[in-house]
Chains A and B, each alone.
Chain A
Amino acid sequence: MDNIGTFLSVLAQGLPETLIATVGGIVLTILLSFAAGLALLAPSRPLRVISRIYVEGLRGTSEVVQLFWLFFALPVLVGFEIVPIWGGVLVLGLNHGAYGAEIVRGAIQSVPRAQYEGALALSLSPAQRMFRVILPQAVVEMIPPFNNLFIQLLKSTSILSFVFISEITRQATQILVPRFNPQVLQIFLLLLLVYLVLSLLITAGMRALERVASARLGRGPSPGAKRLASTGGQG
């Protein structure tokens, strides 16, 4: 186990790429989730159709193949290459945004109809009803499923190793494994632990967020915490 220090420092060199891909991917996921989720419920039919095509198209095809397509097929098509890490962020965000759109749609639809009627009875406009009344309540319901989604996204960053991005999985497979082959067991165990620590950080952040959001709805912290724990085991 005396090489642990070396292993950690080599993995650490890949950490910035993993973190950029994760954080960038999460930001893009959130933006796309809300845009597409709201569009799925829009009164305008073309908007709903476009959004539905995006969701089904991205959700129903392989993430790895999408990545290959962006990196190896698109440059042939349009004649320029995307900066690898941003290409990675794009695929991760587009992909998880498609799942997130359904989270947003489901959460909005779970807000009791009575809230919509209460807002309508006060003559609030459709946009005010959505952004002042419905969405703030729906966001609390979105946090646990988004926590799952963000953890999935974190783990998906490992596929970026296929397109030569030196994130932590590539550091392990391309640098550590060839050099310290007999210790492959420890290398991959360590790699798994790094992902675990990062995912626990995401969960901690999301729990804090859920506590704040629940408090703003005047709810106690315990039911939210319980719900979060019960949805944490997926994936």
Chain B
Amino acid sequence: MIVFDGVEKRFGDNVVLSDLDFTVAPGEHVTLIGPSGSGKTTILRLLMCLESVNAGTIRVAGRYLSHMEKGGTLVPADEKHSREVRKRIGMVFQQFNLFPNMTVRGNLIEAPTRVLGLPKDEANARAEELLDLVGLRERIDEHPSRLSGGQQQRVAIARALAMRPDVLLLDEVTSALDPELVAGVLALLRDIGETTDITILCVTHEMGFARDFSHRVMMFDGGQVIEDAPPERLFSEPEHPRTKEFLKAVLSRG
């Protein structure tokens, strides 16, 4: 579903990702872990086209995301091409990024009606169904600012799902939440993971969640994947010394 091929990303002289190759299969749940600055969030941002690659290519569902084919050669993707490919990709952010100028309903129907061209009643039905799923149906006509952080994040998840994505990117979605609200959001994500076949890439510091949610965990350090294994193995018998060190530091925190 997702193929990174020799991807390099630099910010000025700072190399964040170098010669990175990995593949994610359809329906797979992959968690990216690693110290801050290791490039894991950058991977999600590249997939969402919030950043562009300096070298290498990214393919999603067989199509180039970072590039497009023009006269037999690959050229950097233009706005139209990348918008077409990333329609299949949804993202949930650490800070929710709900639109404050719209109600919960407006947030949920905006992109389905304007980007996918869904009729309004269909988009509304989809919004109601998704709010049922996240348990916020009765808040549909309220402003996002009236909701708690956990509720806002659940709306943001519903908003991403309203586009019926094939790929969902979760960028530290519980990091900005009060501790007592984290469990509800994680339970919702487990539910989505079990009931859909969406491919999910997740950056998180919740190691317990990473362990039982993901099929695979990739440990990043210095812009490279240094360990890539099923969670049972990576968490109980990490091979790389940096992974051991990292897990020790994260797990002792609480």
A-B contact pairs, 15 of them (CB 8 A): A118-B97, A120-B48, A121-B93, A121-B97, A122-B159, A122-B163, A123-B83, A123-B87, A123-B111, A124-B115, A125-B115, A136-B101, A218-B100, A218-B146, A219-B100
Give every chain B residue within 8 A of A216 (Cβ-Cβ): 101
Pick the residue among B95, B100, B110 that contacts A122 (CB under 8 A). B110
CB <8 Å contact, B49 and A120: yes
B143 CB-CB contact with A under 8 Å: yes
Pick the residue among A120, A123, A137, A217 that contacts B163 (CB under 8 A). A123
Separation in Å of the A44 CB from the closest CB of chain B?
A: 13
Pick the residue among A121, A125, A219 that contacts B91 (CB under 8 A). A121
Interface contacts (Cβ under 8 Å), in number, total: 68
Give every chain B residue within 8 A of A15 (Cβ-Cβ): none
Number of residues on chain B facing chain A (CB within 8 A): 28
CB <8 Å contact, A118 and B101: no
Question: Which A residues form the contact surface with B (CB < 8 A)?
Answer: 114-115, 117-126, 128, 132-133, 136-137, 216-219
Separation in Å of the B46 CB from the closest CB of chain A?
A: 13
B22 CB-CB contact with A under 8 Å: no
Separation in Å of the A41 CB from the closest CB of chain B?
A: 16
B173 CB-CB contact with A under 8 Å: no
Pick the residue among B83, B93, B95 that contacts A125 (CB under 8 A). B83
B114 CB-CB contact with A under 8 Å: yes
Separation in Å of the B164 CB from the closest CB of chain A?
A: 12
Give every chain A residue within 8 A of B100 (Cβ-Cβ): 137, 217-219
CB <8 Å contact, A122 and B111: yes
CB <8 Å contact, A124 and B114: yes
Q: Which residue of B lies closest to A213 (CB)?
A: B101
Q: Which residue of B lies closest to A43 (CB)?
A: B79
Give every chain B residue within 8 A of A117 (Cβ-Cβ): 48, 50, 93, 97
Q: Which residue of A lies closest to B83 (CB)?
A: A123
A153 to B49, CA, bound (A): 44
B145 CB-CB contact with A under 8 Å: yes
A117 to B169, CA, bound (A): 13
Separation in Å of the B165 CB from the closest CB of chain A?
A: 10
Separation in Å of the B109 CB from the closest CB of chain A?
A: 11
Give every chain B residue within 8 A of A217 (Cβ-Cβ): 100-101, 143, 145
Pick the residue among A120, A121, A122, A133 that contacts B101 (CB under 8 A). A133
Q: Which residue of B lies closest to A215 (CB)?
A: B143
Separation in Å of the B104 CB from the closest CB of chain A?
A: 10
A142 to B93, CA, bound (A): 27
CB <8 Å contact, A126 and B79: yes
Contact with A along B157-180 (1 / 0, CB 8 A): 001100100000000000000000
Give every chain B residue within 8 A of A125 (Cβ-Cβ): 83, 115
CB <8 Å contact, B143 and A218: yes
Sort A-B residue pairs by CB-CB distance and give the 8 closest, nearest first. Answer: A218-B143, A118-B97, A122-B111, A218-B145, A136-B101, A121-B91, A217-B100, A114-B97
